[in-house]
């Protein structure tokens, strides 16, 4: 008798189909190189990270300051042409204690992804990881500071910030 793997909807997969490779598996690892333009706002943001600087934009109409920067204000739909250098400190707006990685690998030591509102911004945050803290010590409202890669290792990527750590 063929064992059926329970599925919440649709046609169940059969063990036999998996053994005969009659279904698509995820073993294929394509060697594909690609590139895309990051755009005006994110390009400037990424260049700032390479220099160890968090760059945002301020709407001159309503005063909203956002990071990552945008070229228009989502509140009043005006162009935002004022670039601002922001501190690398902020406040934890929300977080999760995760025992799986982004590729769903189970891990014993959890990662703590968090949305961090960078100081001097208005209702906008960066998604990043919190480290140097026990999971049960992380709280909404906790003050954190960016931990940067050494300047020689930065590439103009969000990972130029290794993580955020509690301000002690």
Distance (Å, rounded) from C-alpha 47 to C-alpha 89? 19
Shortest Å distance, C-beta 132 to Zn ion: 36
Q: Which of 77, 5, 47 is nearest to 158 (CA)?
A: 47
> Among all chains, which residue has been given the structure tokens 């990685």?
101
Shortest Å distance, C-beta 96 to Zn ion: 30
**Residue ranges with strand state E in 16-166:** 54-58, 65-66, 82-86, 89-95, 98-100, 106-118, 126-130, 143-148, 161-166
Residues that bind Zn ion (CB under 5 A): 59, 61-62, 64, 73, 75-76
Report the residue number, 68 or 163, with the smaller CB distance to Zn ion. Answer: 68
Report the residue number, 101 or 123, with the smaller CB distance to Zn ion. Answer: 123
Report the residue number, 56 or 133, with the smaller CB distance to Zn ion. Answer: 56
CB 57 within 8 A of CB 84: yes
Report the residue number, 96 or 123, with the smaller CB distance to Zn ion. Answer: 123
Shortest Å distance, C-beta 78 to Zn ion: 5
């Amino acid at each position: 008798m063929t064992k059926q793997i329970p599925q919440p909807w649709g046609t169940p997969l059969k063990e036999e189909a998996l053994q005969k490779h009659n279904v698509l598996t995820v073993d294929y690892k394509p060697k594909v190189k690609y590139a895309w333009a990051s755009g005006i706002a994110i390009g400037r943001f990424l260049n700032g990270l390479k220099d160890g600087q968090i760059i945002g934009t301020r709407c001159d109409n309503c005063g909203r300051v956002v990071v990552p920067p945008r070229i228009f204000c989502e509140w009043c739909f005006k162009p935002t042409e004022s670039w601002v250098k922001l501190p690398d400190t902020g406040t934890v707006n929300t977080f999760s204690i995760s025992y799986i990685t982004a590729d769903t690998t189970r891990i014993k030591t959890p990662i703590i992804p968090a949305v961090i509102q960078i100081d001097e911004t208005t209702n906008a945050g960066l998604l990043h990881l919190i480290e140097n803290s026990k999971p049960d010590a992380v709280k909404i409202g906790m003050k954190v500071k960016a931990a940067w890669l050494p300047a020689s290792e930065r590439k103009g990527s969000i990972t130029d910030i290794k993580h955020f750590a509690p301000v002690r």
